[in-house]
């Protein structure tokens, strides 16, 4: 058997030697650097090592000109062979590949949304005792927004109608998604004109798979336009539904304190990490770790208690609503295990590296999977359903407690003290902080005290020094009086360097400092997980409606400096299609097509009123975004 902990050295001399091993070039964070050293000493491979082993990466794949869509191929485009066997050129091949890439992302968010509908359905149909409606007010508010009668009606009855509306958003029978009622009129007209009004979520996803079958959509711009429609169905459909239902089930986030980095792990307690995306699993684990019986059991095994911390997006969900501390973002997931202090990782789906099982095997760390659609070879599967969530969560926590007894305390290293953060800025909470309406924010934008708003979202990617771009961009923007909204893995990056604290206003420009200072909020607001980017869409729509303009007219932008996933590309695409200029730190695999590249970074601006900008240097990216914000401000007749 091949032991992962002592991986065979790869044949080439490309392997990083101990001397070249420069942790400062791999991550900006002290906790990451310490664990990278520990991993090296213990001969444990991480994503950084594997990237090295994969390098140089395939140029055909990198530029998107390798086609595997049929078995006349695979075909790859070169000077010598500019057409695939079927006659497809680089533009068609890149467009089809990118279409399917976006499809994976839209499907991921949206299938998560569907799971939320099923959860809500089980509650309103009285089919679960394990889950309840923590926030009936939100259910009623959303229902009435979507035109469902609420007066003098039982909330469960209203909920059943709402479930029907949400399910039909996934089907093909609707003309447009229900939440399009939130979209400014001008934007909706633009979508109609272009024929990209998103209809059913599943319909757009299936149609993309159809279009990109051999012999269908062989016109790159046309494929990209459908990509825009499909991603709009994600942002204004699947993701928005996921966010709104999660608020109904577990509460709308309100400002609260929490802590971030590997220092949230506890030396003398049973440590459990939740990883993935859907709070339906992680909320149950949170309940179980607070069960006095289980805490007593942990004590009987010599632990002082049970400690729960989050990773990635389900961590964001728990942090936003319950203040549960965050151990780390994407590239910290492997390193969290390297502390030697983690008994158990409970996962649902998305962004979970298969390597976690392998690294867990080098310690006493167990991994539990919970979704039939996301099993990992070598992990234990505890299927979570609406009927058994509480019991499964307790069983999982018991497994972790047993694990504590076999922890090798000599191998434990928790390298850092945690950093405080302020989290919980849902739109409702922001409006609350502003005294009940968005008017003070809009006035601040008009007065130029807040010059614009930028959502920095997304991931880590070992191709970048971890979190360098995420953090530098945020610092540069707040200096320019631009309010930053953070979601997903960027949150942890910014939290770890103190940007999610009110004191961070000292790093902001004078206007932003004044406004955030008077409200007692940080210049960077944590608005949630990746599906919660729907909150940012909604906020943009609210501001645009208030001003009577299109979203594309607003001094706003989005950025994903260190993105890696299909989901991040889908988010970027729905942002652009919604009229939001979007910066990416590295390009998607489309550079092999001039048509696609030009459309993405320029042509789309004439079509949907926004485009992508690709810039790896975060300081230059801040300048690009600032220039865009200036021009939008001038367009609204405001001082730049």
Pick the closer one to ligand XCC by CB: 299 or 463: 463
Please answer whether residues 523 and 513 qualify as being in contact, where contact means their C-beta atoms are separated by less than 8 angstroms. yes
Q: Could you give the C-alpha distances from 4 to 7, 42, 246, 336, 541, in angstroms and in order?
A: 5, 11, 38, 17, 49
DSSP letter at 501 equals S
Residues 515 to 554 in contact with ligand XCC, rule: CB under 6 A: 530
Residues 196 to 225 in contact with ligand SF4, rule: CB under 6 A: 214
Residues 75 to 94 in contact with ligand SF4, rule: CB under 6 A: 75, 84-86, 88, 93
**Three-state secondary structure call for residue 524:** strand
Q: How far is the CB of 589 from ligand SF4 (least distance, A)?
A: 15
Please answer whether residues 586 and 461 qualify as being in contact, where contact means their C-beta atoms are separated by less than 8 angstroms. yes
Q: Which residues contact 423 (CB under 8 A, 6 or more apart)?
A: 253, 255, 256, 257, 258, 319, 320, 323, 491, 500, 526
Kindly state the tokens that stand for 620. Answer: 């230059």
Binds ligand XCC by CB under 6 A, chosen from 211, 226, 535, 567: 567
Q: How far is the CB of 545 from ligand SF4 (least distance, A)?
A: 44
Rounded distance between C-alpha atoms, residue 510 and residue 447, angstroms: 12
Structure-token match 């149909």, residue found: 125
Structure-token match 């986030």, residue found: 253
Q: How many CB atoms lie within 10 A of CB 545?
A: 15
Question: Pick from ligand SF4, ligand XCC, none: which does 74 bind, CB < 5 to 8 A by kind?
Answer: ligand SF4
- How many binding residues for ligand XCC (CB under 6 A)? 14
Rounded distance between C-alpha atoms, residue 136 and residue 248, angstroms: 6
Please answer whether residues 349 and 371 qualify as being in contact, where contact means their C-beta atoms are separated by less than 8 angstroms. yes
Pairing relationship of beta strands 452-456 and 556-560 according to DSSP bridges:
parallel
Q: How far is the CB of 318 from ligand XCC (least distance, A)?
A: 13
Residues 56 to 75 in contact with ligand SF4, rule: CB under 6 A: 67-70, 72-75
Binds ligand XCC by CB under 6 A, chosen from 313, 324, 357, 482: 313
Question: Pick from ligand XCC, ligand SF4, none: which does 336 bind, CB < 5 to 8 A by kind?
Answer: none
Pick the closer one to ligand XCC by CB: 113 or 458: 458
Question: Pick from ligand XCC, ligand SF4, none: which does 104 bind, CB < 5 to 8 A by kind?
Answer: none
**Three-state secondary structure call for residue 181:** helix
Rounded distance between C-alpha atoms, residue 241 and residue 310, angstroms: 22
Q: How far is the CB of 458 from ligand XCC (least distance, A)?
A: 5
Q: How far is the CB of 216 from ligand SF4 (least distance, A)?
A: 10
* Maximal CA-CA distance, the chain: 73
Rounded distance between C-alpha atoms, residue 626 and residue 621, angstroms: 8
Q: How far is the CB of 77 from ligand SF4 (least distance, A)?
A: 8
Q: If binding is defined by CB under 6 A, does position 458 make contact with ligand XCC?
A: yes
Rounded distance between C-alpha atoms, residue 511 and residue 505, angstroms: 10
Q: How far is the CB of 341 from ligand XCC (least distance, A)?
A: 22
Binds ligand XCC by CB under 6 A, chosen from 470, 565, 573, 597: 565
Q: How far is the CB of 153 from ligand XCC (least distance, A)?
A: 36
Q: If binding is defined by CB under 6 A, does position 190 make contact with ligand XCC?
A: no
Pick the closer one to ligand XCC by CB: 336 or 459: 459
Rounded distance between C-alpha atoms, residue 211 and residue 581, angstroms: 27
Residues 219 to 278 in contact with ligand XCC, rule: CB under 6 A: 277
Q: How far is the CB of 219 from ligand SF4 (least distance, A)?
A: 15
Alpha-carbon radius of gyration of the chain:
24
Q: Is 17 exposed, middle or buried (0-12, 13-18, 19+ CB in 10 A)?
A: exposed
Compute the residue count for the chain.
640
Structure-token match 């990216």, residue found: 621
Q: If binding is defined by CB under 6 A, does position 489 make contact with ligand XCC?
A: yes
Pick the closer one to ligand XCC by CB: 190 or 330: 330
Strands, DSSP E only, in 154-238?
none
Residues 93 to 112 in contact with ligand SF4, rule: CB under 6 A: 93
Q: If binding is defined by CB under 6 A, does position 575 make contact with ligand XCC?
A: no
Question: Pick from ligand SF4, ligand XCC, none: which does 69 bind, CB < 5 to 8 A by kind?
Answer: ligand SF4
Binds ligand XCC by CB under 6 A, chosen from 488, 522, 572, 609: 488
Q: How many CB atoms lie within 10 A of CB 43?
A: 13
Pick the closer one to ligand SF4 by CB: 58 or 149: 58
Pairing relationship of beta strands 344-347 and 326-328 according to DSSP bridges:
unpaired
Please answer whether residues 291 and 330 qualify as being in contact, where contact means their C-beta atoms are separated by less than 8 angstroms. no
Q: If binding is defined by CB under 6 A, does position 482 make contact with ligand XCC?
A: no
Pick the closer one to ligand XCC by CB: 142 or 241: 241
Q: How far is the CB of 102 from ligand SF4 (least distance, A)?
A: 18
Rounded distance between C-alpha atoms, residue 77 and residue 98, angstroms: 16
Containing 285, the helix (H) or strand (E) segment is: helix 279-289
Pick the closer one to ligand SF4 by CB: 86 or 519: 86
Residues 339 to 368 in contact with ligand XCC, rule: CB under 6 A: 351
Q: How far is the CB of 230 from ligand SF4 (least distance, A)?
A: 20
Residues 107 to 146 in contact with ligand XCC, rule: CB under 6 A: none
Q: Which residues contact 376 (CB under 8 A, 6 or more apart)?
A: 347, 352, 354, 356, 357, 367, 369
Residue numbers at the binding site for ligand XCC (CB under 6 A): 277, 312-313, 329-330, 351, 458-459, 488-489, 530, 565, 567-568
- Which residues bind to ligand SF4, rule: CB under 6 A? 67-70, 72-75, 84-86, 88, 93, 214
């Amino acid at each position: 058997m091949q032991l992962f902990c002592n991986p065979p050295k790869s044949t080439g001399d490309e392997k990083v030697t101990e001397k070249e091993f420069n942790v400062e070039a791999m991550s900006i964070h002290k906790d990451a650097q310490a664990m990278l050293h520990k991993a090296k000493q213990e001969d444990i491979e991480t994503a950084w090592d594997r990237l090295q082993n994969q390098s140089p990466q395939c140029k055909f794949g990198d530029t998107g000109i390798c086609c595997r869509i049929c078995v006349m191929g695979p075909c790859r485009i070169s000077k010598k062979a500019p057409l695939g066997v079927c006659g497809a050129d680089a533009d068609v091949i890149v467009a089809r590949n990118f279409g399917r890439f976006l499809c994976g992302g839209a499907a991921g968010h949206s299938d998560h949304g569907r799971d939320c509908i099923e959860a809500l359905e089980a509650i309103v149909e009285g089919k679960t005792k394990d889950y309840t409606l923590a926030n009936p007010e939100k259910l009623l508010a959303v229902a009435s927004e979507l035109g469902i009668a609420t007066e003098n009606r039982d909330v469960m009855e209203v909920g059943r109608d709402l479930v029907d509306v949400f399910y039909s958003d996934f089907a093909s029978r609707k003309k447009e998604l229900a939440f399009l009622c939130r979209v400014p009129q001008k934007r909706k007209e633009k979508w109609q004109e272009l024929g990209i009004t998103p209809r059913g979520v599943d319909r757009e996803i299936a149609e993309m798979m159809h279009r990109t079958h051999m012999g269908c959509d062989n016109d790159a711009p046309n494929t990209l336009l459908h990509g825009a429609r499909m991603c709009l169905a994600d942002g204004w459909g699947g993701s928005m539904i996921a966010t709104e239902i999660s608020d109904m089930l577990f509460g709308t986030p309100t400002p609260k304190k929490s802590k971030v980095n590997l220092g949230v792990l506890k030396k003398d307690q049973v440590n459990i990490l939740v990883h993935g995306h859907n709070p339906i699993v992680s909320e149950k684990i949170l309940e179980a770790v607070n069960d006095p019986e289980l805490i007593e059991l942990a004590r009987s095994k010599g632990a002082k208690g049970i400690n729960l911390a989050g990773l990635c997006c389900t961590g964001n969900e728990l942090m936003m609503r319950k203040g549960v501390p965050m151990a780390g973002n994407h590239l910290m997931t492997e390193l969290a295990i390297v502390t030697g202090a983690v008994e158990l990782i409970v996962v649902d789906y998305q962004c979970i590296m298969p390597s976690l099982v392998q690294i867990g095997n080098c310690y006493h760390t167990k991994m539990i999977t919970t979704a039939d659609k996301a099993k990992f070879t070598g992990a234990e599967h505890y299927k979570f359903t609406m009927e058994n969530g509480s019991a499964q969560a307790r069983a999982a926590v018991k497994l972790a407690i047993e694990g504590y007894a076999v922890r090798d305390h000599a191998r434990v290293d928790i390298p850092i003290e945690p950093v405080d953060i302020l989290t919980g800025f849902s739109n409702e909470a922001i409006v609350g902080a502003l005294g009940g309406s968005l008017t003070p924010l809009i006035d601040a934008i008009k007065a130029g005290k807040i010059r614009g708003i930028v959502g920095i979202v997304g991931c880590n990617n070992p191709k970048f020094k971890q979190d360098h771009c995420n953090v530098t961009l945020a610092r540069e923007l707040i200096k320019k009086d631009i309010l930053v909204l953070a979601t997903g893995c960027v949150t942890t990056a910014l939290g770890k360097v103190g940007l999610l604290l009110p004191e961070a206003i000292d790093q902001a420009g004078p206007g932003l400092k004044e406004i955030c200072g008077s409200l007692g909020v940080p210049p960077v607001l944590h608005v949630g997980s990746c599906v919660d980017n729907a909150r940012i869409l909604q906020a943009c729509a609210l501001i645009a409606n208030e001003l009577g303009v299109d979203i594309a007219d607003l001094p706003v932008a989005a950025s994903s400096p260190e993105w890696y996933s299909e989901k991040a590309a889908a988010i970027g695409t729905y942002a652009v299609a919604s009229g939001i200029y979007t910066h990416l730190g590295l390009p998607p695999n489309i550079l092999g097509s001039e048509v696609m590249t030009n459309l993405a970074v320029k042509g789309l601006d004439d079509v949907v009123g926004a485009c992508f900008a690709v810039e790896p240097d975060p300081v230059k990216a801040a300048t690009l975004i600032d220039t865009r914000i200036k021009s939008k401000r001038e367009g609204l007749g405001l001082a730049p």
